């Protein structure tokens, strides 16, 4: 009986240690192993989009049969590989990204997000992993395709994505008809196609992507454009306040040169689904 008791205690200790090990592997801050959960919209090409298969290195979206591809996904893959973790993509609406991060549902936001002062009050950011300029997407052959400056959009119906600085800068256009902000870029593309709006504010990669995907769209780059801060036009990884991942992620990003960033972005634009 005594031997059985000792064996039982030994077995119990083994099980407890095994369970403890399983629990620690889930921690995103552990040095190796576990998962790296990244939140993104999967609807903002060429930064991120949704597709039906794993072509061109796309990653399965958690809880679905779909996959996510794009510039953000490629950056996320590099970070996950360096951390020694499995990349998990969590498709999340734009307004839900910060709450998902602060609640622990995801470990990072890699979604074409700018490290604005307002966002920095709630979450931390890594070093930048891309920088772009603001442009306008309009109808090809339309009244505004030849625009060169902001005043050229006086009287135009213009919108941008909800809860982004893109929407705020519309106020810099005198006489503009500021349309209601929209939830996402696919919705803005539909609105532009149908004539509900005359244009929407975007970043250059998305505008290049939009005009490449739809022959009816054109990108307007300004000689004298929107006044923005450096943080507004930069893109960084969003992280929980005080996250232990910040320094590690910064090390990874430092190893990606501007030349490599451009190459990854060019590939993303080329690989985006035609339907986007």
pLDDT at 41 over 90: yes
* pLDDT, tens digit (0-9, with 9 covering 90-100), for 78-112: 999 999 999 999 999 999 999 999 999 999 999 99
Read off the pTM. 0.78
Q: Give the chain's mean pLDDT.
A: 90
Q: Please report the pLDDT score of residue 230 as a whole number.
A: 87
**pLDDT-derived band at 32, boundaries 50, 70, 90:** low
CB atoms within 10 A of CB 12: 10
Q: What's the mean pLDDT in 157-177?
A: 97
**CATH of region 28-131+232-271:** 3.40.190.10
Q: Which fold has domain 134-220?
A: D-Maltodextrin-Binding Protein; domain 2 (3.40.190)
Q: Which segments within 73-123 are labelled E, that is strand?
A: 86-91, 108-109
CB atoms within 10 A of CB 125: 22
**pLDDT-derived band at 224, boundaries 50, 70, 90:** confident
DSSP assignment string, 173-227: STT-EEPPPBS-HHHHHHHHHHTS-SEEEEEHHHHHHHHHH-TTEEEE--SB---
CATH 3.40.190.10 domain residues, the chain: 28-131+232-271, 134-220
**pLDDT-derived band at 11, boundaries 50, 70, 90:** very low
More confident residue, 14 or 236: 236
């Amino acid at each position: 009986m005594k031997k059985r008791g000792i064996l039982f205690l030994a077995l119990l200790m083994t099980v407890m240690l095994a369970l403890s090990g399983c629990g620690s592997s889930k921690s995103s801050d552990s040095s190796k192993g576990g998962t790296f959960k990244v939140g993104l919209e999967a609807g903002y090409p060429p930064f991120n989009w949704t597709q039906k298969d794993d072509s061109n290195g796309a990653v399965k979206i958690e809880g679905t049969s779909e996959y996510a591809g794009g510039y953000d996904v490629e950056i996320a893959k590099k970070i996950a590989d360096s951390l020694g973790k499995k990349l998990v993509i969590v498709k999340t609406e734009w307004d839900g990204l910060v709450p998902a991060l602060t609640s622990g549902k995801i470990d990072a936001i890699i979604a074409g997000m700018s490290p604005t002062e307002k966002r920095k009050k709630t979450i931390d950011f890594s070093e930048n992993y891309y920088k772009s300029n603001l442009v306008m997407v309009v109808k090809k052959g339309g009244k505004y395709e030849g625009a060169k400056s902001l005043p050229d959009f006086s009287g135009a119906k213009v919108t941008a994505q909800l809860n982004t600085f893109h929407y705020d800068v519309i106020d810099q256009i005198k006489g503009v008809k500021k349309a209601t902000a929209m939830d996402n870029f696919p919705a803005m593309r539909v609105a532009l196609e149908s004539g509900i709006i005359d244009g929407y504010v975007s970043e250059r990669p998305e505008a290049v992507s939009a005009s490449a995907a739809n022959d009816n769209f054109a990108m307007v780059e300004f000689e004298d454009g929107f006044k923005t801060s450096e943080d507004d036009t930069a893109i960084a990884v969003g992280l929980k306040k005080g996250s232990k991942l910040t320094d590690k992620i910064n090390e990874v990003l430092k190893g990606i040169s501007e030349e490599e960033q451009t190459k990854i972005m060019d590939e993303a634009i080329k690989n985006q689904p035609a339907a986007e």
